[in-house]
Amino acid sequence: MQRSIESSVSSPSKGEEQGGGGAGKPLNTVVRSTLPLSGIPFASAQHKPDSFGTHPVLRDYQPLWVSLMRLIREFLLIVLVGLGLAGLFRTAAFATYFIPSESMVPTLEVGDRLAVSKFAYGWSKFSLPLANFGFEFNGRILGSLPQRGDVVVFVHPLDGKTMIKRVIGLPGDHVRLQRGRLFINGARLERRLEATYHYREQGSGASVVGVTRYTETLPGGREHTIVQRSDDNAVETMPDYVVPAGKLFMMGDNRDNSADSRLTLMGPVPVENLIGRADTILYSDHTCRPEPGLYCAPRRSLSAID
């Protein structure tokens, strides 16, 4: 391809051509010349004119592996930041726990997976394990007491296991049991009969047990469901007990199948040992084989815990 370039030059007058004294006027003549495109400096293969067509712009081409390494590095950075935020969220805000026993039946069944709010009562060394990073503290940060009736996750004061029970007594409360009836601060709690049924306990060789389900009302009007096998079992009678300062009285909803604050195996639980409040059943792996005449608890998901 060739490109036309026009230029103006002065041509000698006729008198000058004949050797005259230059009296003639110069005549502008257009001369057309043709140059190959490759002869134009800014059109070379190594340069490209900028928007003004005057200065060359150099292009910096990187190898493909350099671009790939940059993309991989950015992707790994995003993943690490996401994992860090997820770890912080799980450490300080929420955690999930699996129910392994029947002490909270019928509220919670074996196989339920719970979401626990770790900031509901502030943080302690049990809910915020900073000891793993060389920092340990006593007491609670932004601490507050739970309410009667809250279902809480806590660290067992004697053996260090993670437990779940219902808060029945607050510091200073008087708690007493008389043949299955619960008294708090001298007042007997109302309980409403709901049903009587049989079910098979979980585990190999599990036996069939008969229970009565009640709705129990705590001071202030809060209700929850309990089951009892009998009002005459040894754990269903307890003398008046004053909950010590800084401690909580815990009980399971399965009143005849729960090792809780009624027994010296646990006793009252320090407020500091709280991990959080159980708010929601996320999903359940609870299994129950239907049998004639036996109650089979349904699976639940995304259900609030009363």
Dihedral sign for Cα 287, 289, 294, 300, please: positive
Given the residues 118, 125, 165, 247, the one annotated as active site: 165
Token representation of residue 28: 């502008």
Residue 247 a catalytic site member: no
Q: Which residues pair with 251 in a beta bridge?
A: 166
**What does each C-alpha distance from 223 to 22, 53, 133, 228, 248 come to in angstroms?**
123, 83, 41, 16, 19
**What does each C-alpha distance from 114 to 43, 57, 275 come to in angstroms?**
71, 63, 13
Q: For residue 297, what are the contacts with CB-CB under 8 A and spacing of at least 6?
A: 105, 106, 109, 199, 286, 288
How many Å apart are CA 157 and CA 273, to the nearest integer?
A: 7
Given the residues 103, 117, 124, 261, the one annotated as active site: 103
Give yes or no for a contact between 224 and 147, defined as CB atoms under 8 angstroms apart. Answer: no
Residue 101 a catalytic site member: no
The residues carrying an active-site annotation are 103, 165
